[in-house]
Chain A
């Protein structure tokens, strides 16, 4: 199958490329980015006039609910949604059921993902067995079957000795540890950011110290063990500052933020809008601004979806009794590029935080457009006006607080390994 993407604005953040050219694809590989290519007869021509042609997105964290909660969503349903969101690579956290703490589960997920054939699904293995926070998982075995890192997901590890040993062991295996920083006691106490909205609505609050205490403890252990670490889903300005200082000291730490935390804040809870119920909670306006600053100055390298599809019942109830989580695969790109529309960051920065930078964190060869490389490509219509309609999401999860938001960027085509997996 030969494809030619014609007349697009080709942007490759990894190589700082930004040029109006054609992209020629054959056998799943990019064969040329050029004005013209002799002897190339395309089976399929895609007109990308007035569109952006960039690498397929790399998402550091998306929950697909399979195995374990197939009634909510499946690898098949969610990779369809990922393709619609321009995502060609995504990493799943280990908190499936069963947990990704042994090679069988990794193989099962890879197998299902291959069958679906729309997105590269990578696994992040468990740090402790069954994520119980007590016994180390067989990390070497997990690494051998292709886990791109290890993590304890959102499950807690209370004992600092276990944390220390786990980080030391991961360092030995040269594995990146993905951390969702949260002090279990302070976090469990509440369901929203502790601040004036929690005071007003009478909801139990989670103080910012739930995050900063955890980040601080982890930074000390990272320094001590020398492990390569990545912080998932940072939500507070203070944590951004602490990570920036650690990076300045030369610690091998990176961080990501969810696209929704860059746009929403505690006030979006309105009158107990359960769709805004998410963990970590939406913080203050000030935190949100500091998160944007973190993306702007490179402290935060990646914007991730932190996709959590939920069924309708999970969000029906009094706020604190609803399940936290946002279905976010299909809003990752338009939300991140909204920061460009708002002149918060440049287009290059935005695309880098969605492609080559998360790929670098995962240590994989993806997220860029190179001759001879896989044709994982996202084509974006850059000047459309449309309302976000969660009910029309392809994802099985329609749980998004962004209904009615006006977006300007929309994925028009997604190519995975040279195959057209999504077309609007």
Chain B
């Protein structure tokens, strides 16, 4: 029972993963985000496009930042937004995930924005919601974080215009990173010249190359002549389970410092999905340096989420017609 995130005519119905999407759709998301980004500069930072729509932010895993950008995006589109922070421990004790879902659905929700600590949770929810409800994946376990990947693509496009000749390096914990998985898929679909991942073997998935990337274990070779550097957040629980000895050693090998930045092209941009661990995956001087576009990424997040929300809710007219 594969949930299809596209409608019959190829429009976005849910946004669960980048995998399987076509280049024109990713381009459309970025184009629409480009149009929406002007709204943030108006006196009234709001358009009535989604007036009367109800969007629920279902966060089974805490994330104030991501939730806020989704909330702001929905509000700029004039939708009604409700936030639910549900601890997974509570659901595992009594009410099942589906019970929670159907309860909220009964409030005539049009869209769920879901974050969950389990890979595949957004897919699972999309398979079980009523036909008129759209699901946006705001991060599921180690699987996907498609809106984050799209805002990263948007940021890259703003700085580099074309994707075809770019060399992009992603540094860090690829194994546990939903952001990296979605970025790698988006970059491949957009036809980036070369995608590299850099990290110790403990933090790279087995058969990593099947994702379409070149694997590097050291920064000198991995960063050579790259146009875009994406550093990933290092979760501190990785020190348990023998994946890494210490944050200090990680920084020594894979922390992005000004020195290591010199391996890349002089006009390379530095990105990070945030929040940053300064002195672990990136040195402050680089995070705040002139090649850093980290703060831009945050702003782009709102426009991308406006684009995705309006596209998914817009495709519901197609369902209404076919009924």
| A–B interface present (Cβ within 8 A) | yes
Which chain A residues have a beta carbon within 8 Å of chain B's beta carbons?
194-196, 198-205, 207, 270-273, 313, 316-321
16 A–B contact pairs at CB < 8 A? A199-B206, A199-B207, A199-B210, A199-B211, A200-B211, A201-B120, A202-B119, A202-B178, A203-B142, A207-B206, A271-B1, A272-B119, A272-B123, A273-B1, A318-B116, A319-B124
Pick the contact of A202: B1, B98, B142, B210 (CB < 8 A). B142
CB atoms of B118 and A321 under 8 A apart: yes
CB atoms of B2 and A318 under 8 A apart: no
Instruction: Collect the chain B residues with CB atoms within 8 Å of residue A196's CB.
Output: 207, 210-211
Q: Using a CB-CB cutoff of 8 Å, which residues 90-121 of chain B contact chain A?
A: 92, 96-98, 116, 118-121
CB atoms of B206 and A318 under 8 A apart: no
Q: Using a CB-CB cutoff of 8 Å, which residues 120-179 of chain B contact chain A?
A: 120-121, 123-124, 140-144, 178
Q: Which residue of A lies closest to B1 (CB)?
A: A273
Say whether B266 faces chain A, with CB atoms less than 8 Å apart: no
CA gap between A321 and B116 in the complex, in Å: 12
CA gap between A200 and B19 in the complex, in Å: 9
How far does the Cβ of A62 sit from chain B's closest Cβ, in whole Å?
Answer: 27
CA gap between A204 and B3 in the complex, in Å: 22
Sorted nearest first, the 5 A-B pairs with minimum C-beta distance are A318-B118, A202-B143, A202-B142, A272-B120, A199-B205
How far does the Cβ of B161 sit from chain A's closest Cβ, in whole Å?
Answer: 30
Say whether B196 faces chain A, with CB atoms less than 8 Å apart: no
Counting chain B residues whose Cβ lies within 8 A of the other chain, the interface size class is 20 to 34
CA gap between A201 and B121 in the complex, in Å: 11
Question: Most chain-A CB neighbours within 10 Å: which of B118, B121, B181?
Answer: B118
CB atoms of B116 and A316 under 8 A apart: no
Q: Which residue of A lies closest to B118 (CB)?
A: A318
Q: Which residue of B lies closest to A321 (CB)?
A: B118
CB atoms of B124 and A272 under 8 A apart: yes
CA gap between A61 and B3 in the complex, in Å: 34
How far does the Cβ of A193 sit from chain B's closest Cβ, in whole Å?
Answer: 10
CA gap between A207 and B206 in the complex, in Å: 9
Q: Which residue of A lies closest to B128 (CB)?
A: A316
Instruction: Collect the chain A residues with CB atoms within 8 Å of residue B96's CB.
Output: 313, 316-317
CB atoms of B97 and A271 under 8 A apart: no
CA gap between A88 and B268 in the complex, in Å: 70
CB atoms of A320 and B211 under 8 A apart: no
Say whether B208 faces chain A, with CB atoms less than 8 Å apart: yes
CA gap between A207 and B142 in the complex, in Å: 18
How far does the Cβ of A28 sit from chain B's closest Cβ, in whole Å?
Answer: 46
CA gap between A145 and B106 in the complex, in Å: 57
Render B65-95 as a binary contact track against A, CB cut-off 8 A, 1 for contact: 0000000000000000000000000001000
Instruction: Collect the chain A residues with CB atoms within 8 Å of residue B206's CB.
Output: 194-195, 198-199, 205, 207
Instruction: Collect the chain A residues with CB atoms within 8 Å of residue B124's CB.
Output: 272, 317-319
CB atoms of B97 and A318 under 8 A apart: yes
Instruction: Collect the chain A residues with CB atoms within 8 Å of residue B3's CB.
Output: 271
Instruction: Collect the chain B residues with CB atoms within 8 Å of residue A319's CB.
Output: 118-120, 124
How far does the Cβ of A195 sit from chain B's closest Cβ, in whole Å?
Answer: 5
Q: Contacts A199-B208, A199-B211, A203-B142 given; 13 further ones with Cβ under 8 A? A: A195-B206, A200-B19, A201-B119, A207-B206, A271-B2, A271-B120, A272-B120, A272-B124, A316-B97, A317-B96, A317-B124, A318-B121, A318-B141
CB atoms of A203 and B210 under 8 A apart: no
CA gap between A199 and B124 in the complex, in Å: 19
How far does the Cβ of A239 sit from chain B's closest Cβ, in whole Å?
Answer: 18
CA gap between A200 and B207 in the complex, in Å: 10
Instruction: Collect the chain B residues with CB atoms within 8 Å of residue A273's CB.
Output: 1
How far does the Cβ of A324 sit from chain B's closest Cβ, in whole Å?
Answer: 15
CA gap between A171 and B181 in the complex, in Å: 51
Q: Which residue of B lies closest to A316 (CB)?
A: B98
Instruction: Collect the chain B residues with CB atoms within 8 Å of residue A204's CB.
Output: 142
How far does the Cβ of B110 sit from chain A's closest Cβ, in whole Å?
Answer: 23
How far does the Cβ of A153 sit from chain B's closest Cβ, in whole Å?
Answer: 25
